[in-house]
Structure 1
């Protein structure tokens, strides 16, 4: 459904050329839900915009929904659905008006547009809201309407950009079930970006992680988590973590360590057996422990290990250091 080779994008800025995407290779099979993850400035948004014809690649090739991205951009647009992060509805229109108008923009006849709209209203639990003004809908209802607009022309491939941002947990879980139905009931291929790792874990058949403009890992959620074998011990100390790192040097069973502020992340062979040894080593080095936790690896751990950053690390310092000007919204 998507096959990209060497996809790249270079921007010209006041500071010179910036390589936002540096040769992305990716494959998405028909009927998959694929998650596309990356920290701020990683090239995620730029890649998504290229695949949806919103940006022209500087280099590389891609076939999207059977059409050549560079030679047939109009055909790509006809064959895909795109649901942007901010939505694109008109609050002054009714739900039915918006859906029918969207269908007609794809040159679908009026009768078929109304029929298709009714089908989507039922599938996305919007039936009965046809005459409601969009501005009166709840956040979850608006987001489901956004998805309906992206599906009104029955595309085989739909791009969902941060589909649950701003939704409460109940609305987010509800939308997850609808995304699964796109694949299970409609056989639609879904390519989504998200800042919620639990969302990627729950929804995605496969995950692609991009960092510094390149794909750094891909696989099922379980395959990615298995890359970090062993257990994770998270230790918060009261003082500078340097002394804690020194205390753990040479301790049997410790595979690797990393720090973030006063928090140490320690990958170990067997957490249950080594936990007491860690505490004794800290005590012997007179390092006060504020808290200590033992857990199995999660996707967040995988992401932090691969990129050195948390997916939701939106701090100004991190964003400014990592993101070139054109990628500020990534």
Structure 2
């Protein structure tokens, strides 16, 4: 954005008055004032475009089914779950990345994503991919609040923040890239997976406490997917990675354990006037894999882009071959669902979203 225009937006009294009136009018018509998102590549709409990392999806064929066939940085052929959520609650069609320098105050007021591809609750996980750590994402949210206070005042900012919906989707990379990754870095500090799970929960708890201290009152915490069904995990762990492809049960069992612990422990964080809800993505993905005909899928163990066995980020690029019909695939690349897959996940968590509106 032009620097002079940016200063005008922040300082001109008429603009501030107009924004304030628009904000007040919006509150008469919407229960959710805005949507804010924290997490990893499954909810990153392009923040990594502005970071020194190779974990990006801002080039074709990513985004080929998005508006204007634009590769925005979303790790899919189209929209993400968070885009469908933002549209469902009536704040905007697509949720932008906070780091996009072209965003106006009006864009910011209806919500943004602070998520970063490659991130985890464990800072070490984020550092492996040069992604934003969870604490850095919170710092950006603090910066966001400061910007809004200049534009619409502290009282209205606190009201907007308090009425907003929050989604936190992270944790998978802590296991796939960190604990069980090629270097298995955290295993020296946490010899057993149960020890690492407890450590991860401490980090989740700290993050959520800080988020609530910043004013969040309606928080949805997304569980982790069946990791053993991710095409890349199958490729790296199957006895016959090409011909004998099936979900790796040991990883799926870990996912169920992590999600069970998450569901139980979230209950202890409830505060008066605050809702913290668990959003299940394990079961809808398992259902897509096991009941593929019900959804019109034909391929559930390979991604559409490249060989579909291990490609993601720069591995899925303009030179990569693509499947003939993306609507028949659960996964777009070897880690991330297609837009159709994301929409099915969104439909499965609508009941959680609806609780925000009560």
Asked if these proteins are the same fold (TM beyond 0.5), I'd say no
Bigger relative contact order, structure 1 or 2, given CA contacts below 8 A and separation 6+? 1
Q: Which has the higher helix share?
A: 2
TM-score when normalising by structure 1: 0.31
> Which structure has the larger Rg?
1
Q: Which has the higher strand share?
A: 1
